Amino acid sequence: MQRQGIRVDYHAAWTCVTLGEERRIEEAAEAYMPIGPVIDAQEQAGLIRGAVRLKPWITFKA
């Protein structure tokens, strides 16, 4: 996904502490690919067993 296509919700449940406002978009949740399909494939292959689901709540981007 390109930066122009990312919708940023500044009222999201996570906080990004940054020295440059332009860096905030790099840490937006929409900037990352979904991990669910990767985890599902690894579970189905018997490589892992899912234990918990984590959500970021703060990020520091210098």
Per the structure, the count of domains in the chain is: 1
Tens of pLDDT, residues 1-26: 444 544 555 555 667 777 777 777 77
Looking at residue 45, its pLDDT comes to 97
Instruction: Write out the residue range of the structural domain in which residue 27 sits.
Output: 3-61
Looking at residue 1, its pLDDT comes to 45
Q: Which of 28, 25, 32 is nearest to 14 (CA)?
A: 28
pTM above 0.85, yes or no: no
Coil, strand or helix at 3:
helix
> How far is residue 48 from each of residues 14, 16, 39, 40, 53, measured CA to CA in Å?
27, 30, 8, 9, 14
Looking at residue 6, its pLDDT comes to 47
Q: Let me know: does 61 contact 27? Beta carbons within 8 Å.
A: yes
Looking at residue 61, its pLDDT comes to 66
